[in-house]
């Protein structure tokens, strides 16, 4: 009855929710720190919370499916037209639209070896071959070789995923380098520039900033993805967007179901866009706390990749990430084990100062209690 090819699709394992830790370990919600899913530790902007409360009575009413106001606000923010914008239930859903809409006949898709896990899941659902670069981190020359090699063996490349900055590793390509890369790729390949964490990268280094308006004006095979889930503090509301040439947007609209975001999500996103001060504060605070993590890592023998996002990926020779993450979970600290990515490493969302101090304390306590593990190296 179902597609045989689905058998190889592994259901994505989301970061563990607070509810699960409560249920499994009987820890009170107030004592649980969740730094496993890169949510905004400062919450949502107060005026977003207010607008949700004020509009709660509209829960029974479908949203304005034209998303007139939000699309206009995003178009204005990014200096594009409304027909260059599509809204998704998270930028995730735009990835899904792309994978459903693209012609994958005799094609493969390209991605970095270690990048956002959903790229591969959506590709497998669409039953398209996945080709990964040899390096964990994004290396454009490897993408280029992979692209040429695919064409040489008679395969089309239907899509290339670039995660800038890259989740879960944190590194970020320069936008100028990406633009040079785009020019080497044929027009039949959709280049997906996933900017879910762009606000953090841009703050740290202007060379990482992408211009969706310039990209969508110049290239008819590029889509830029943004989200409200991270710097904008709306992870639970599921709102993201894609910006591209209007012909791409029109095709993606064909695979979009109506009412794909909630009435309150629409209101929340419109309001969140109006409060740029909140976003700036969160991004600034994130940068400060990132420095604390880097110092901690250096002082305690952890390796890390300099991160352009709101998380940091750490590892230490001889330390088993699965053992560590399970131990931390029992103490009420949720971080992300990268074992499912094939790495003996762990990703921590940069939390508030108070949360981070607790993280450092626990990591030190773990080290003191599990010295024998460090001796394995």
Could you say whether residue 102 binds a copy of itself (CB under 8 A)?
yes
With residue 140 as reference, give the H or E element that holds it. helix 140-152
* CB contact at 8 A, 319 and 364: no
Could you say whether residue 313 binds a copy of itself (CB under 8 A)?
no
Could you tell me which of 344, 289, 279, 333 has the C-alpha nearest to residue 312?
Answer: 289
Q: Which residues from 163-202 bind a copy of itself, rule CB under 8 A?
A: 187-190
Can you read off the two tokens belonging to residue 36?
A: 């496993």
Could you say whether residue 118 binds a copy of itself (CB under 8 A)?
yes
Question: 328 in helix, strand or coil?
Answer: helix
Could you tell me which of 316, 373, 358 has the C-alpha nearest to residue 35?
Answer: 358
Could you say whether residue 151 binds a copy of itself (CB under 8 A)?
no
Nearest residue (CB) to a copy of itself, 235 versus 318: 235
Produce one character per residue of 109-145: b if its CB has 16 or more CB atoms within 10 Å, e if not.
Answer: bbbbbbbbbbbbbbbbbbebbebbbeebbbbbebbbe
Using CB under 8 A, which of the segments 259-267, 288-296, 343-351, 361-369 binds a copy of itself? 259-267
Could you say whether residue 72 binds a copy of itself (CB under 8 A)?
no
Q: Which residues from 224-243 bind a copy of itself, rule CB under 8 A?
A: 229, 233-238
Nearest residue (CB) to a copy of itself, 114 versus 158: 158
DSSP result, 162-204: EESSPTTT-----HHHHHHHHTTS-TTSEEEEE-TTHHHHHHH
Q: How far, rounded to the nearest angstrom, does the alpha carbon of residue 69 sit from its chain's CA centroid?
A: 25
| Number of neighbouring beta carbons within 10 Å of residue 355 | 17
Could you say whether residue 40 binds a copy of itself (CB under 8 A)?
yes
In the complex, the smallest distance separating the C-beta of residue 184 from a copy of itself, rounded to whole angstroms, is: 17
In the complex, the smallest distance separating the C-beta of residue 77 from a copy of itself, rounded to whole angstroms, is: 20
Sign of CA dihedral 205, 208, 213, 218: positive
Could you say whether residue 344 binds a copy of itself (CB under 8 A)?
no
List 33, 44, 170, 349, residue binding a copy of itself (CB under 8 A) = 44
In the complex, the smallest distance separating the C-beta of residue 12 from a copy of itself, rounded to whole angstroms, is: 5
Task: Count the residues of the shown chain that bind a copy of itself, applying the rule CB under 8 A.
Answer: 80
Could you say whether residue 62 binds a copy of itself (CB under 8 A)?
yes
In the complex, the smallest distance separating the C-beta of residue 23 from a copy of itself, rounded to whole angstroms, is: 7
List 32, 33, 35, 48, residue binding a copy of itself (CB under 8 A) = 48
């Amino acid at each position: 009855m179902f597609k045989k090819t689905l058998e190889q699709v592994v259901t994505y394992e989301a970061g563990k929710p607070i509810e699960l830790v409560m249920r499994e370990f009987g820890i009170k919600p107030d004592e649980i720190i969740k730094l496993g899913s890169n949510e905004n530790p400062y919450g949502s902007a107060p005026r977003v919370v207010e607008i949700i409360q004020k509009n709660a009575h509209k829960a029974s009413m479908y949203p304005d499916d034209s998303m007139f106001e939000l699309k206009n606000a995003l178009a204005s923010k990014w200096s594009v037209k409304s027909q260059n914008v599509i809204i998704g239930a998270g930028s995730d859903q735009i990835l899904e639209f792309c994978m459903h809409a693209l012609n994958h006949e005799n094609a493969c898709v390209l991605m970095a070896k270690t990048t956002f896990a959903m790229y591969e899941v959506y590709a497998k659902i669409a039953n398209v071959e996945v080709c990964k670069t040899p390096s964990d981190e994004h290396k454009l020359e490897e993408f280029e070789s992979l692209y040429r090699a695919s064409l040489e063996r008679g395969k089309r490349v239907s899509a290339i995923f670039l995660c800038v900055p890259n989740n879960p590793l944190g590194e970020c390509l320069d936008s100028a380098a990406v633009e040079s890369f785009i020019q080497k790729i044929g027009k039949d390949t959709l280049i997906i520039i996933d900017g879910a964490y762009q606000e953090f990268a841009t703050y740290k280094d202007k060379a990482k900033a992408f211009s969706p308006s310039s990209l969508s004006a110049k290239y008819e095979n590029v889509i830029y993805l943004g989200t409200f889930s991270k710097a904008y503090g709306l992870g639970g509301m599921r709102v993201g967007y894609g910006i591209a040439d209007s012909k791409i947007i029109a095709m993606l609209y064909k695979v979009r179901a109506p009412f794909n975001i909630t009435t309150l999500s629409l209101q929340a996103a419109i309001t969140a866009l109006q409060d740029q001060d909140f976003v700036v504060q969160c991004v600034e605070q994130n940068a400060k706390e990132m420095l604390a993590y880097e110092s901690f890592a250096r002082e305690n023998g952890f390796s890390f990749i300099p991160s352009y996002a709101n998380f940091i990926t750490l590892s230490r020779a001889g330390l088993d990430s699965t053992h560590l993450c399970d131990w931390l979970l029992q103490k009420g600290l949720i971080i992300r084990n990268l074992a499912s990515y094939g790495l003996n490493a762990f990703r921590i969302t940069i939390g508030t100062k108070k949360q981070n101090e607790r993280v450092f304390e626990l990591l030190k306590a773990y080290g003191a209690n599990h010295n024998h593990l460090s001796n394995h190296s």
